Amino acid sequence: MATIGSALRGATLAITRSRTAPRVVTASASKYFSTNPHVVVDKFVSSPPPTSSSPNAEALRHPNDVHDRNANYSDEDSRSMAGVTASVRHNWTKQEIAELYSLPFHELMYRASTVHRMYWDPAEVQQCTLLSIKTGGCTEDCSYCSQSTRHKTFVKPTPTMKVQEVLEAAKRAKDAGSTRFCMGAAWRELGNKKNAFNHILDMVKGVNGMGLEVCCTLGMLNAEQARQLKEAGLTAYNHNLDTSPEHYPNVITTRTYEDRLETIANVRDAGISVCCGGILGLGEKDTDRVGLLHVLATLPEHPESVPINALVAVEGTPLGDADADEDTASDGIADVDAFDMARMIATARIVMPRTMVRLSAGRLSFSEAEQFLMFQAGANSIFNGDKLLTTDNPAFDADTALFQKLGFVGKPAHAGPRVAPTEVTGEVEITQVKGMEQQYA
């Protein structure tokens, strides 16, 4: 890979940029290729498709499966538009990410917004609904969580919901415009909960049968449990890393960072889309935010979606009590503003350009204008509905009105994202790299 990367840099310098014809390798590169027969670099701009006479013509879409989408672009090296170049990489260094994160805000926003438009249709935003199917009673000691048995909060443990109750909630979410239904259970792990797991498999099958995409967050999973969830029709699995490996022990001690990474690997190996992100406001430093993004951006596959949460401090939790104590320095606990969120989202968008970035918990504390700032930074997914597990969230009607105000449309269920309009119209320049054997096979 290092040899190909070095060769690509040399070839790219030898190529004259051309926007006059699509899919053309200019003659100035021929000398380079004659001495490097194993690499072909093809720099082109897309040809606009024939226009449809129907005003309701369906937008061009990528495959729905994230693995199929990535396979379509396996020979793509980079995209360029308006002076910004981006690529899907897995070899980011912390220093590179830190330099992006620390850019002047106006420059970071410009780059992230441009990258967003190179890879996505900025008008399309996925709407997800999250339901707590088993609330409270968790044995973990996550210092932010109201559902831990170790903290005295307003949450009272409840048994796992009945399958029919969950399906009725999923129908209400679908009727309100949601296209992905997520189910969360306050467990450390599924373990040997066979009856509960069988009920969850039935829930997954039932929600999938409604035409909704299905996501679960159930704690740690082994490889066999991940396989069964995939067979039942699970679309995605959420398992957040929360923060950097360095700050993580300050937040939770009952589960290791490696435990979380193992679950993510089991999910990925089962062919389930990975949803994995973190929380701002846990007392972390900017270096920890960079550290979290570095872990995500150097995974073998970038997550399909990365939720960015702002801590909702809950009385009775260690972080909630620290935030409420006026005599104690907060040290960044729950001290998250719209600029923090936008900076994190923008950096995530640049280092993981094909990943969906989800504006998640804490959204209720931001104005509509502040939320728009986050969409401009590259967010293209939200949780809707008035609850996120146990914390408040904007109601369905409020989000519908916001979408209309901003000109957004929801992403349909079981349909891939729209192809970026800039790709359709030829505004973005795409560089491809292929091995000779692969190209002419």
Residues belonging to the active site: 138, 142, 145, 182, 215, 275, 358
Cα angle value 312/314/316 (rounded, 5°)? 160
> Length of the chain, please?
441
Q: Which residues contact 3 (CB under 8 A, 6 or more apart)?
A: none
Residue 177, classified by CB atoms within 10 Å of its CB into exposed (0-12), middle (13-18) or buried (19+), is middle
What's the count of helices (H) and strands (E) in the chain, helices before strands? 16, 16
Do 438 and 75 contact (CB within 8 A), yes or no? yes
Cα–Cα distance measured from residue 180 to residue 326, given in angstroms and rounded to the nearest whole number = 40
Nearest residue to 243 via CA among 269, 282, 274, 210: 282
Instruction: Name the helix (H) or strand (E) containing 30.
Output: helix 30-35
Residue 315, classed as helix, strand or coil, is: strand
Q: 101 is written with which tokens? A: 């994160």
The gap from C-alpha 72 to its chain's centroid, in whole angstroms, comes to 19
Q: Terminal CA-to-CA distance of the chain, rounded, Å?
A: 21
Rounded Cα–Cα distance for residues 202 and 166 (Å): 10
> Nearest CA to 94 among 241, 284, 261, 290?
290
* 317 DSSP 8-state letter: B
CA distances from 275 to 215, 256, 404 (A): 9, 18, 27
